[in-house]
């Protein structure tokens, strides 16, 4: 986790996605002509934002599976 990363739980999904795209653009720019230290810092921030997006998607999928009968009635073949 990046020490200067804000509280990502307060951001909307759209804001998170926009920030990920922005950080990816900055990382690409830094990889072309920036110092390696800048790339490291941008990558750390990018990982934090992507982790929060993944966490939200996993939570949403768990809720969907819990609330949907199709997923609870799956045949266990093991």
Whether 39 is in a domain gets the answer yes
**CB contact at 8 A, 71 and 65:** yes
Instruction: Judge whether 7 lies within some domain.
Output: no
Higher-pLDDT residue of 42 and 4 is 42
- The set of long-range contacts for 63-70, using a CB threshold of 8 Å and a minimum separation of 24, is none
Number of domains in the chain: 1
Expressed as residue numbers, the domain containing 53 is 12-72
List, for residues 12-46, the tens digit of each pLDDT value. 889 989 999 999 999 999 899 878 888 999 999 99
pLDDT at 23: 92
Q: How many CB atoms lie within 10 A of CB 49?
A: 23
**Verdict on whether the full-model pTM lies above 0.85:** no
């Amino acid at each position: 986790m990046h020490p200067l990363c804000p509280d990502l739980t307060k951001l909307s999904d759209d804001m998170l996605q926009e920030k990920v795209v922005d950080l990816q653009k900055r990382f690409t720019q830094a990889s072309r002509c920036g110092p390696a230290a800048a790339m490291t810092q941008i990558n750390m921030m990018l990982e934090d934002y992507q982790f929060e997006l993944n966490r939200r998607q996993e939570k949403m999928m768990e809720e969907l599976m819990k609330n949907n009968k199709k997923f609870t009635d799956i045949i266990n073949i093991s």
